[in-house]
Amino acid sequence: MYYVSTRDRLRKTTVSGAIAYGLAPDGGLYTPEAIPTLAGSALNTLKDMNYQQRALYLMNMYLDGYSAAELVGFCSRAYGGGKFDDPAVAPVRPVEEGTYALELWHGPTCAFKDLALQMLPHLLTAALRKEGENKTACILAATSGDTGKGALEGFRDVPGTRILVFYPKDGVSAVQEMQMNTQEGCNVGVCSVVGNFDDAQTGVKRIFSDPELKAELAGRGMFLSSANSINWGRVLPQIVYYVSAYCDLMKEGVLEKGDKLNVCVPTGNFGNILAAYYAKRMGVPFGKLICASNRNNVLTDFIRTGVYDRNRPFYNTISPSMDILISSNLERLLHALTNGDAAQVKGYMDSLAEHGRYEVSGGLRRNLERDFAAGFCDDEEAKKTIARVWNERKYLIDPHTAVAMNVLEQYRAETGDATPVLVASTASPFKFGPAVLEALGVSQPQQGLESIGQLAEFTGISAPAPLENLAGKRIRFDRTVEKDHMTDAIREMLL
Ligand SMILES: *Cc1c(COP(=O)(O)O)cnc(C)c1O
């Protein structure tokens, strides 16, 4: 199976080429030429497997040129060995009548990024070998919190790689900052940038196109690479947990094979919900895919009107990992919904770059409405949902998951659709302690690491070990640079 650029279908590569080099040279995203479909008996076969075996079976369908033996090793290293604090890796829990949470935060950094970033380093280093690339890959990442820590933890001590993460000095939560600055491993580096997330992100993009630095790195046997979700190696592992969740619900007798299940996903860059879409296209009986946004509701408007318009104010919310106005992975959905019409997709993306806006064709809009629904809520609504779900069900959710739960309530009220729903639960509530404590009505919520213990005490739920242990960790990184001096940090830490 070949992978094509979303902007030029003649630009083809193998899956190892797609994973090794991330972005296509024309700026498009590499996407499978055709989405493989599950055999009629596959869900029954998968039902009796554990998570690692399911990952092997499903990823193998996309990874030509990777041997089964290789993949067995990757799956057990990524998802076995106690890396996840639940043997199911991505367990499904009933929350209320017809609502099931897919808990994606049992990994080492307590957010759903772990499911992909524990696997990506294995896929990437193998892809580099297959492509005959023998330089050391230096992974650069700008992060608003969860991606950076997930990437650090995934790439730590992986031979043939170095990783350096930049975060905005005042743009991440105290817990997220501690998570990054205490990162262990011999090939890792962390640096904060004076400015906001956009400054850090722009700086990283500039570094990628700095010819002088590139030459210096090449002279030392290194090249720059990226770990963000434009890489197919991050989308693929996410398909696994959606198929896995359906199998778990079959196994528990909640669903019969073929029963419909809607999926509701708190969305930012559109990577997570895109994986649900691919699972549906593979043959999992998913109904509506409900795209939930916070006040940065550019996707809600797009799905409802067919107009994508990023010319709007940017809000900082209590669900920061969804504070985003350009959802990169939407480009892959446009590719699928236009049946790979690269000229059409390129036209939309050019318009987005030039005018910050595009409007899709009527045909595409109808396709979009067939598979997707959308909604959004603000911080106050999300907090009320955290309180309601806790008070009524004693189930504790983080602010991102709360956005999804709230949008689901709205969707049900508007449509009367009684199909059962799988809600992607994307982070541990202990990562966002202050906002959750406030939502629960605690009178003096602690702000920093103390919020972890306070939330545990208030709810009687123990915090995940990686967060609980943060307080005792040594700070290894405390470097801050001006946004125009990020290359200095690279030279210091890499050369
Ligand atoms: C990254 C993230 C999201 C958004 O996921 P996308 O794939 O970017 O849509 C939602 N919730 C949490 C907790 C995240 O870390």
User: Residues 402-461: pLDDT tens digits?
Assistant: 999 999 999 999 999 999 999 999 999 999 999 999 999 999 999 889 999 999 999 999
Q: Which atom of ligand 1 is nearest to the CA of 105?
A: 13
Give the model's pLDDT for residue 134: 86
Give the model's pLDDT for residue 204: 85
Give the model's pLDDT for residue 209: 78
Chain-centroid distance, C-alpha 290 = 16
Give the model's pLDDT for residue 224: 87
β-bridge mates for residue 188, sequence order = 163
Percentage of residues of the chain with pLDDT beyond 90? 82
To test ligand 1's pocket by mutation, which of 318, 321, 332 has the most ligand atoms within 8 angstroms of CB? 321
What distance in angstroms lies between residue 430's CA and the mean position of ligand 1's atoms? 16
Q: Where are the alpha helices (DSSP H) in 310-398?
A: 330-337, 342-355, 362-371, 379-393
The HSE-up count of residue 173 (CA atoms within 13 Å, CB side) is: 28
Q: Whose CA is nearest to atom 2 of ligand 1?
A: 321
Note the pLDDT tens digit of each residue in 346-375: 999 999 989 999 999 999 999 999 999 999
Q: Which residues contact 103 (CB under 8 A, 6 or more apart)?
A: 86, 90, 91, 92, 93, 425
Q: Which atom of ligand 1 is nearest to the CA of 400?
A: 11
What distance in angstroms lies between residue 40's CA and the mean position of ligand 1's atoms? 32
The HSE-up count of residue 186 (CA atoms within 13 Å, CB side) is: 4
What distance in angstroms lies between residue 146's CA and the mean position of ligand 1's atoms? 8
Q: Which residues contact 190 (CB under 8 A, 6 or more apart)?
A: 148, 152, 164, 165, 167, 180, 181, 183, 476, 477, 479
Give the model's pLDDT for residue 230: 83
The band of 196, judged by pLDDT with boundaries at 50, 70 and 90, is confident
To test ligand 1's pocket by mutation, which of 104, 106, 112, 201 has the most ligand atoms within 8 angstroms of CB? 112
Q: What is the DSSP string of 58-94?
A: HHHTT-TT--HHHHHHHHHHHH-TTSSSSTTSS-EEE
Give the model's pLDDT for residue 206: 82
Q: Which atom of ligand 1 is nearest to the CA of 398?
A: 13
Nearest to 235 by CA among 175, 266, 285, 279: 279
Give the model's pLDDT for residue 287: 98
Task: State mean pLDDT over 9-15.
Answer: 91
Task: State mean pLDDT over 232-261.
Answer: 97
The pair of three-digit structure tokens given for residue 444, joined into one six-digit string? 């003096």
pLDDT over 90 at 326, yes or no: no
Q: Which atom of ligand 1 is nearest to the CA of 146?
A: 15
Task: State mean pLDDT over 42-61.
Answer: 98
Residue bearing the bigger pLDDT, 388 or 471: 388
What distance in angstroms lies between residue 221's CA and the mean position of ligand 1's atoms? 34
Give the model's pLDDT for residue 441: 97
Task: State mean pLDDT over 197-216.
Answer: 83
Q: Which residues contact 208 (CB under 8 A, 6 or more apart)?
A: 140, 224, 226
Q: Which atom of ligand 1 is nearest to the CA of 426?
A: 13
Task: State mean pLDDT over 176-193.
Answer: 95
The residues lining ligand 1, judged by C-beta closer than 6 Å to any ligand atom, are: 111-113, 146, 229, 266-272, 321-322, 400, 426-427
To test ligand 1's pocket by mutation, which of 103, 269, 274, 430 has the most ligand atoms within 8 angstroms of CB? 269
Helix, strand, or coil (residue 328): coil
pLDDT over 90 at 172, yes or no: no
- Pairing verdict, β 92-96 and 99-103: antiparallel
What distance in angstroms lies between residue 319's CA and the mean position of ligand 1's atoms? 9
What distance in angstroms lies between residue 268's CA and the mean position of ligand 1's atoms? 5
pLDDT over 80 at 197, yes or no: no
What distance in angstroms lies between residue 413's CA and the mean position of ligand 1's atoms? 25
Q: Which atom of ligand 1 is nearest to the CA of 271?
A: 7
Tell me which of 113, 288, 346, 431 is the catalytic residue: 113
Residue bearing the bigger pLDDT, 206 or 310: 310
Q: For CA atoms 358, 362, 368, 372, give the dihedral sign.
A: positive
pLDDT over 80 at 495, yes or no: no
- Are the C-beta atoms of residues 446 and 433 closer than 8 Å to each other? yes
The pTM for the full model equals 0.95
- Are the C-beta atoms of residues 164 and 179 closer than 8 Å to each other? no
Percentage of residues of the chain with pLDDT beyond 70? 100
pLDDT over 80 at 145, yes or no: no
- Are the C-beta atoms of residues 208 and 27 closer than 8 Å to each other? no
Active site residue 113: yes
To test ligand 1's pocket by mutation, which of 105, 176, 324, 400 has the most ligand atoms within 8 angstroms of CB? 400
